[in-house]
Amino acid sequence: MIITNKLLRNLLLVAASTHAAIYPTSPDSTPPAQWSSMSSTFQQHCSPFGISIFAKDWDQDKFHHACNVLAQMLDNDLDGCADDNNVVYTMRKNQIVMAMFAKEDPGNYDMVPDNMTFQDLYASETEPSCSGSSETSNCRDAAIEEIMHIVTGSGVSPAYSSTYGECYSNSSKSTMQTHMDTARGGFFTSVPSSYPSGSIYHYDDTTCTYGCQSTEFFYWALTSYLNGQDARVADNIEEWEASTRSDLMNKASGMYNLFNSGTATSMVLLSPAGVLPGTGGLGAKYTYLPTSQTCANGCALDGTGCGTLGNSNVENINKCTGVVAPTPTPPTAPTPTPPVPTPPVPTPPVPTPPVPTPTAPTPPVPTPPVPTPTAPTPPTPCVNNSQFTFRLDNFAADRTCVWITKNLKKKDARIAKYCERSEIKAQCGDQCNSSCNDNNDPCTDDPTYVFSLKWNQGVQQNCAWITKNDKKINARKATYCNDNSAVRAACRKTCSVCV
């Protein structure tokens, strides 16, 4: 369906006359009362089907794109009613929201209330022009992944935990997790040092738990099933080897059949009729075109009929099941019993005869030699002290110098925060010395060097590939830039090695 100028004009006129949210053109709305204080920080808000999206300093077109991405994921048949009321009920009960910032910054999280469960997204990584199944090898829209995470993680997973559950349980696993274990080549509660030969899903971020692995697997499988990874086969192969629908059918048939059956949930997105929002190069504002703004017998775009919004001030929500856990009652303090004083019994004094103290001769006090101070060796530019660590400000963990620039998206903020400190700047020359990026710096990559991928020896890449994809820099450096790696020796600048 293509939006016409006439339809666009009519929708704008309706929105202007009613001051109500109208999709896709004018989804802006007022935050719910319990989060009204957020308006002072986040100027933009929309809530398709009662699920809040807060944005700060976003371009209006990108903001509307994100609103419509969420709306179309929940209403994939475009009839103005949520495809699966249970999914939306669960998301609202779990109080999941999107908190969207212009760019990544250490202070972003301080803007969000501590009792709010949120998924972040940045305008700098949101690209409506290559959204949905229009992604290319050089362009992807992070809004699809991050918004999908709140739909699957806080909606589908707890609503249909036996089929799509993402939380790890010692007693049982969901059907999806069973298929994930097959794709990983076995059951691993943590990331193994090496995945078995023949595995097709080898996510190697060691901070990603089994539940986190499930979340990422859901994203990879669903977007591949809906043709959202076709143009990124080569980029994905290090982590995921079933980027097309045909590959999913052949290499992960369990997940393919699960989506193909379309029986576990009435969500159209998770069925053969599913369509990724934003496909076509113009963004979701041009693909989410609901036939109605109301829903007589279900969950509507304005949140009517979409269940009760949870209140984290009085409820303890289990993120995996959506069940409200009882608030623990504080123990009653015991009533103190005053002590009964016991009268003291006088003890007669016993005389002590004086003992003479002998006087010992005073030994001579040696005069210690005065050390000659040695001037500290100034730090060498572009050289790190590999033994040096420092403590993070807001987290009880120590990090080495290379951590400062390990994540490309967080690099500038970390340099500004930590390299101003003299002790860190002195020890972390490669990270904190801006001249290390000069063309004359000896820390350079070997332009002729290529190496084989760990998971697919038939594919070779050069140093630049390690940092080509912002979202995979951490995992790729951890895999290929280890201390004894030939890659580390050849890709010195990319691997932040200046020794």
Quick: pLDDT tens for 148-174. 999 999 999 999 999 999 987 766 899
**Cα 396 versus chain centre, distance:** 19
Tokens 């193994």 -> residue = 192
Q: Which residues contact 441 (CB under 8 A, 6 or more apart)?
A: 382, 435, 493
Give tens-digit pLDDT for 195-208. Answer: 999 999 998 888 88
The full set of domain ranges for the chain reads 5-325, 390-490
* Mean pLDDT along residues 410-427: 84
DSSP-based three-state secondary structure for 328: coil
Amino acid sitting at position 132: G
The mean pLDDT of 124-135, rounded to a whole number, is 96
* Residue 105: band (very low, low, confident or very high) from pLDDT cuts 50, 70, 90: confident
Per-residue pLDDT tens digits for 229-281: 999 999 999 899 999 999 999 999 999 999 999 889 999 999 999 999 999 99
Nearest Cα neighbor of 307 from 128, 82, 479 is: 82
pLDDT on residue 318:
53
The answer to whether residue 354 scores a pLDDT higher than 70 is: no
Helices (H), 119-225: 142-151, 157-159, 161-164, 175-184, 210-225
The residue among 148 and 425 whose pLDDT is bigger is 148
Residues 398, 57: Cα–Cα separation, whole Å: 33
Mean pLDDT of 386-399: 70
State the sign of the Cα–Cα–Cα–Cα dihedral 110, 111, 116, 117.
negative
Task: Tell me the pLDDT tens digit for each residue of 18-37.
Answer: 458 999 999 999 999 989 88
Cβ(438)–Cβ(483) below 8 Å: no
Please provide the DSSP assignment of 295-316 as one string.
Answer: -TTS-BTTSTTS-PPP-TTT-E
- Is a pLDDT exceeding 60 seen at residue 448? yes
More confident site: 271 or 402: 271
Model-level pTM?
0.66
Residue bearing tokens 């033994």: 387
Position 387 pLDDT exceeds 70: yes
| DSSP class of 420 | T
pLDDT at 167: 87
Judged against a pLDDT cut of 50, whether residue 5 lies above it is answered with no
d(CA 54, CA 70): 13
How large is the C-alpha radius of gyration of the chain? 30
Q: How far apart are CA 155 and CA 70, in angstroms?
A: 12
- Hey, how many other C-beta atoms are within 10 angstroms of the C-beta on 162? 11
